[in-house]
Structure 1
Amino acid sequence: YHWDLPQRLQELGGWTNPEIIPVFKDYARLLFEMYGDRIKIWTTINEPWHICEFGYGVDYMAPSYNYPGIPSYLCAHNLLKAHAEVVHMYREKYQDLQKGKIGLTMDTSWMEPKTDSVDDQEASERALQFYLGWYAHPIFSKRGNYPQVMIDRIHNLSKEQGFTRSRLPEFTADEVRRIRGTADFFGINSYTSKRVTKNDHNNSNNFPIPSFNHDMGVIEDQDPNWTGSGSAWLKL
C-alpha cells in the first residue's frame, strides 16, 4: 500500500475504520496469489507516518482530514493491525512455497539535537520515538506496544485536555502479541535531517491542542548553513 486508497473505502472512514483490516487482508491475498511467484520482497505499508499524520492529522496529503490529535492515532492503530494480519497470512499460507520476505517500510528524518543541552537531547530522542518508534516499537521491541514516552505523554495530555481516556488507542495483550515480530526485515526511508529543541509555553511556535506535534513537544527546523539540493526541505 502506497497511499492509494480507493475513494469508496475512504468514504467508510479509511484507515480510521477497523473494517479496513479484513479488506486489506483480502487485497493482499489477491496480490500474493497473482504475483507471489515473482515478488520475493513485500512491503505491506510504505511510510505509515505520512499516511496517518499527513493524511488525517493535517491536510498535506489525501484524504486531508486536517483533524489533529485523534484520527492519526486511530489510523496507525488499524494500520498496524492490518499489517500484522497480512504478515501472518503470508507466513502461514505463502512464504514456504513462494520463498519471499515481508515487512513494512517506515520513514523518519534524522532528529539532531539543536544544542548539547539535556533538554534538546531528550527532544531528539522523543522525536525519533514519535516518528519512528510509533510504528517500529510494536513490531520490533521485545515488549511490543507503542513507545512508553508516547503512551505516557498522550495519556497525561489527554487527561489535562478533559478527555476521559487517552487519545492514543490501547492494544489488547493479544494484539500486542499478534503484532510483535511481524517483519522479516527493518525497512526505513530517510531523506534529510532536522534540528530539534524542546517546545515550551514560551516558544512562539506552539501547535494546535490537541495535535501530534503538541503531543511530541518539540520544535523542528533546519540549519540554514546545511547544503541544499534544490528542494525546500531536502538538506545534506
Structure 2
Amino acid sequence: MSDKAEQLKAFERLLIIMDELREQCPWDKKQTMESLRHLTIEEVYELGDAILDKDLDEVKKELGDVLLHIVFYSRIGSETGAFDMADVCHSICDKLVERHPHIYGDVEVDNEDDVKRNWEQLKLKEGKKSVLEGVPKSLPAMVKANRIQDKVSGVGFDWEEPEQVFEKVEEELAELKSEITKGDKDAIESEFGDVLFSMINYARFLKVNPENALERTNKKFIKRFQYLESKSKALKKPLKDMTLSEMDVFWEEAKSL
C-alpha cells in the first residue's frame, strides 16, 4: 500500500487532469452541476452494486468514478469563486472535528449509541430545526425510511426491545388484512406502507440493512430465474408453454446451485 505522500501525489495528479480536461475537452467544458447530477447518482449505485458483490477491484474503480465527480463539482465551483477542492476538504474536516467531541474535546462516550445521540444533538445546536432535516427528499423510499428511523432513534424516540417491534409488525399485518377484506385500494396502500415501514424498523433492531437484504434476494431471484430460462432454452420449450409444476422442478434445482 502507498504511503501518505504517494496518496497526496495521486490526488494532486487527479486535480491537474481535471483542470486540463475542463480547459481542453469539449465534453468536459460543457458540463454543469445539473448535467452531472444524474451521472453522479448512477455512479453511486454502481459503487453500491460492487460493494454488495464483494468485488473489491470493482469497488476501487467505482470509488475513482465517484471521486472524479467530487473533483469535477469542486472545479466548477471554483470557476465562480463559490468554493474549491480545499474548501470542500476543510468543510468536511471541520464538521468531523465538531461532531466528534469525544475525540477532539472532553466529552465521554461509552458506545456507538452515545456517539449517534451526540451527533444528532450537535446538529440541532448548529441550527437545524428538526433531526429529520438531513434526510434527502429524493432518497429511495426504503433507504429514506431506514434513515428516518435511525435518526429519530438517535434522540431517544425508539422501541426498547426487538419483541415490541415485531409485535408492531404483526399489528400492521392484521390491519392490512382487514383493509384487504374491505377492498379500499387507498386504505390498502396506506396499510401496506405501514407494514413495510415496520419491517424496515424491525430490520434495524436485527442489525440488518433492509436495502442490502432486499437486493440480496433480488440477485438470488435473478440467478434462479435465469437458470430456469436456460433450461427452457435447452428443452426448446418456451416458458409460457411450461406448467408451473415443470418450472418448479428447475427452480428447486437452482436453489441447490
TM-score above 0.5:
no
**What TM-score does the superposition give when structure 1 sets the normalisation length?**
0.28
Higher helix share: 2
Greater Cα radius of gyration, structure 1 or 2: 2
**What TM-score does the superposition give when structure 2 sets the normalisation length?**
0.26
